[in-house]
Every structure is written in structure tokens, then in C-alpha cells.
Structure 1
Amino acid sequence: MATATTRHSDRTVSPVFLGIAAIMVVTGWAVWTGFSANLGLAVFLFVTSGWIVSLCLHEYAHARTAHHGGDITIGAKGYLTLNPLKYTHPLLSIVLPVVFVILGGLGLPGGAVFIEQDRIRSRVKRSLVSAAGPLTNAVCVVLFTAPFWLGVLDGVPVSFRFALAFLALLEVSAVILNFLPVPGLDGYGVIEPWLSYKIRRQIQPYAAYGLLAVFAFLFFVPGVRDAFFALVHTVMEGLGIAQLETYCGWDLYLFWQEQSATCQEIVSG
């Protein structure tokens, strides 16, 4: 039987998460002030840590919603501590999403926390569990883009503006991708409880390949990739962020590559 002390420890924010958040704050300050011998490295650390923080919040939202929905095993698994090392698949949840950012400037979602769906009897609650993660990314979109559509970035260092724009792009792409009704993604999890048992059984063998299929289409089918990023940039422009800003943010992020002349000229002033 769990004691009060055990329940408290199950909900204590992990030092690992706090450390990642601290890296985001410190490197964000370094990008803002220019207090860094390598601006690109500072941008890389700021965006990567910010992206990981949002991934932790994404998984936490799934777990917290499942906990309130009836899965009382969530706390004992460590999912409520925001510790990425407690996830069922740290490689899928953290490492692969960061690799996708490096490879294609894409906020592709990773794996999820393990939810015991049988404990959640309501179909509405099961749908909410799946929707909670991408809705958290949507909140991040609002937070990261607010300085742009509120017009409060006058005088802000252009390098920080670019880095924040790129981080916002990752969140926008994550929201869109997560809500795709593809097995293995949260969008399918939202509609799955409402499908017949027969359909769910037919889809189940292919669920493990859903994320892989999305990756393949986006990276190896130019038409699909172009259409997807056209949608992402349309959303970004609606939020007050120009495509050049996100491009230069990604250009700075890839600090080990030669920076484009256009972005270098803008950053150097």
C-alpha cells in the first residue's frame, strides 16, 4: 500500500528535468546577450533543451490525464516526475525527436508513456489521454509565438528571435503531426476508442510502423514534405513569424555547418 511519502515522491519534479530546464534558461540568456564564444552552439543547446522540455511536458500531460482517468499505476512508474529517463522508450520519446530536428528541422513526435488502457473505462477519457500531449504542444506554440504576434520583439537580438522562431516551428509541426490519425500517433489514439473492435484488431499489427511510415513519407517523398512544410509555414506566418526567421534559426542551430551568407549577414548586423 502506498504511503503519503511514496505518493509525494511519485509527484516530485525530477532534478533531471530541472537540469534540462536550467540549460534552456542559461543558454537562452547566452543567445540573448551574445555571451557565448560560439553563438551557434548556444542556439543548439537552447533549442534542443527547450524542445526536450516540451517533450517532457507532452508525456506528463498524457500521464496526468491517464492518472485522473483511472490508471492509478502512473505515479509508481515515475511518469509524474517529468523525468525523461522514466519513459517507457527514452530513445523514442527523446533521442529520436532530437535526431529528427537535426536531420530535417522537424518536430516529429516520439514514443509515449505506457498507459494501461483497460483501467480507463470511458471512451471520452481515453480520447482525452491521447489528446492531452499534442494540446500541450499547442500551449507551447502560443507561448513561443506570443512575442511575435504581440509585437514585443523590438530591440530583441536577432539571433534570439531566430532561435525562438525555430523552436516555435518545431512545436507547430509537432501539433500537426501528432494529430494525424495514423496508428502510433496521438491522433489515432483520439479516434481509436470510437472504432469497432474489428477495425481495431485489423489495424493493430501495423500500429508499430505508423511513426516509421510518417518519417519515410516526410523525408523521402518530396511532394509530401513540401506540402507539409507549406502548411507549417502558413500557420507560422499567421502567427507573425516569417519563413526567413525559421530558416535562419535552423541555420544557426546546425552550428557545425557553414552558415548561409544571408543569415550570417543579418545576425552580424
Structure 2
Amino acid sequence: MASEATRGERRISPVFLALVAIMAVSIWAVWTGFAANQGFPVFLFVTSAWIVSLCLHEYAHARTALHGGDISVEARGYLTLNPLAYTHALLSIVLPVIFVIMGGIGLPGGAVFIERHRIRSRWKHSLISAAGPLTNVVFALVVTAPFWLDALDGVPEDLRYALGFLALLQVTAAILNFLPVPGLDGYGVIEPWLPYGIRRQLDSFAPFGLLAVFGFLWIPEVNHAFFDMIDEVLRALGVSDWDTWNGQRLFRFWEGNSIESLNP
């Protein structure tokens, strides 16, 4: 009976499978030009793929915590890839999707609740925090593979643009998550190595860390420097500004951007 319960706690959720199915169908629609307005299938593809990446991000935290000693993640359903099982589904899924729709930025989501007292090694604590954004890095490498492998021959332009915009979201999410700011995964990586007194002082800032980051991003100089860095990373992966810009315009299909207006 125990093994059956364990299998149930790790069985992939139908919700996640439905998201993967939507992603697959929308890729097919973009590839074949099935829809008269390609913006809508691009929107479905990018949104579903973005949510899938958020699920994988949280799964990576939970799976690493399981191997680190926190068996409670199974009972909480974190290993099923079900986005509805997260401690704060609003923060983990809804807000990141809203930010993508409104501004085209990969907002770091979270959270799965990890019982940190079960983890006995500082290295394991750091790895648990790093596992999530590292998943975004891997996702970005997979999405941009056709670009840096020079394998775009035969790939429809609309799908190329959609992949470019999705890559932008993954890179921004990875970089933002790795910032050493309380409340973000980057701080979780270094926190176990800080003196106890400093950790106590910084803990009170954790609920406001992400807000502080976005406050700094409103400063024009900081904003320009941040997105210049994002552009440099994407160019290193073979993705141009043109790809990401067109991808975002297609994604925002409700603004009435025609396909013809996207071509140089």
C-alpha cells in the first residue's frame, strides 16, 4: 500500500499533461500555418510552454529537496508537476503569466515549501535553491538549439519568432532568479554560507526582495543595463533582437499586429 501511495504522489498530473498537449498542438498550428491569424497559436504555444517551464522549475526544487532529505515534498504533491499543488499558485503561475502578457518579462515564480530543517548539508541547501533557475537555463538552451546549431532551415518564421520570445522569457527568469536578493533563489544558494546574524537580519527582507528588484528595474539606467545583458546572452545563443521583438508582437495578437508588418 505504501508503494502505491508513493507512486500516486509522483504520478504526473493530468493538468501538466494537458499543458504539454496544448503546447504540442499549438506548435503544430504555428508550423502548418493552420490559423488565419498566427498570433493566437503563438500566444498558446508561448503561454503553455512558459507554464510548463514554471512547473519544471518547481519540480526541480522539490526533487532535489527529496534527495536532500525532505520527504514531505511527496505528500504535498510537488512531484506530480501539478501547478495547482504549489504553496502559492498565484505567485508560481498566475502572476508570472500576467507579467508575460503585460510586459514580456520572465517573472521568477515560486514557491514549493521545503522543510529546510530536514536538510543536513549546506551544499544540499544551495543545490536545492539552484535547481530551479538551472532548469530555466536548460530550457533556454533547448529552445534556442535551432539557433545556435544553425538548424533553422525549413522552420517557419512565425515559429522562429515564437522560440525567440520564449527564449527571452527563460533567460530573464534565470538571471532574475539567480540574483543574490533575499526571497530569490540566488540568495538561497549563498544563504547557508552566511553568518547566522546576517541571515537573521536579511530574513525580514525576503517578502520584499522581488518587489525591490522590480523597483530597481524602473530606474532607466538599471533597466537598460539589465536588458542589454539579456540581449547579449541571447545573441550568444544565436537569437537576435529581431526574433524576440517579432515574437512578442505575434504573442500580443490582440493588438492587431499583422503578419505582413512583422517581415523586414
CA–CA separation in structure 1 for the residues paired with 2:214 and 2:41: 28
Q: 1:241 corresponds to which letter in structure 2?
A: V
* Shift, 1:216, TM fit: 2.3
**Structure 2 segments unaligned to the other structure (5+ residues):** none
State the identity as a percent: 64
Query: What residue in structure 1 maps to residue 100 of structure 2?
Result: 101
Query: What residue in structure 2 maps to residue 32 of structure 1?
Result: 31
Pair 1:225 & 2:216 matched: no
* Shift, 1:266, TM fit: 4.2
Query: What residue in structure 2 maps to residue 239 of structure 1?
Result: 237
Q: TM-score, normalised by structure 2?
A: 0.97
CA–CA separation in structure 2 for the residues paired with 1:113 and 1:211: 16
- C-alpha change, 1:62 and 1:91, in structure 2 (3 Å) is same
Task: Classify the secondary structure of the residue corresponding to 2:205.
Answer: helix
Query: What residue in structure 2 maps to residue 258 of structure 1?
Result: 256
- After superposition, the C-alpha distances for 1:127-183 in whole angstroms (9 at most, x for unaligned) are 000000011111101100110011111121100100011001111111111100001
Spell out the pairing of 1:133-152 with structure 2 (5 A cutoff). 133-152=132-151
Pair 1:74 & 2:70 matched: no
- C-alpha change, 1:227 and 1:264, in structure 2 (3 Å) is farther
CA–CA separation in structure 2 for the residues paired with 1:119 and 1:166: 39
Query: What residue in structure 2 maps to residue 41 of structure 1?
Result: 40
Query: What residue in structure 2 maps to residue 54 of structure 1?
Result: 53
Query: What residue in structure 2 maps to residue 174 of structure 1?
Result: 173
Q: 2:241 corresponds to which letter in structure 1?
A: Q
CA–CA separation in structure 1 for the residues paired with 2:161 and 2:7: 40
- After superposition, the C-alpha distances for 1:22-54 in whole angstroms (9 at most, x for unaligned) are 100101110111101331111111000000000
**Structure 1 vs Structure 2 CA RMSD:** 1.3
**Structure 1 segments unaligned to the other structure (5+ residues):** none
CA–CA separation in structure 1 for the residues paired with 2:107 and 2:134: 15
Aligned length: 264
* Shift, 1:117, TM fit: 0.4
Q: 2:223 corresponds to which letter in structure 1?
A: R
CA–CA separation in structure 1 for the residues paired with 2:164 and 2:28: 16
Q: 2:52 corresponds to which letter in structure 1?
A: V
CA–CA separation in structure 2 for the residues paired with 1:155 and 1:129: 40
> Which residue, 241, 245, 248 being the options, matches 2:246?
248
CA–CA separation in structure 1 for the residues paired with 2:9 and 2:42: 33
* Shift, 1:105, TM fit: 1.1
Task: Classify the secondary structure of the residue corresponding to 2:163.
Answer: helix
Q: 1:254 corresponds to which letter in structure 2?
A: R
CA–CA separation in structure 1 for the residues paired with 2:170 and 2:118: 30
Spell out the pairing of 1:62-211 with structure 2 (5 A cutoff). 62-211=61-210
CA contact (8 A) 2:246 2:262 kept: no
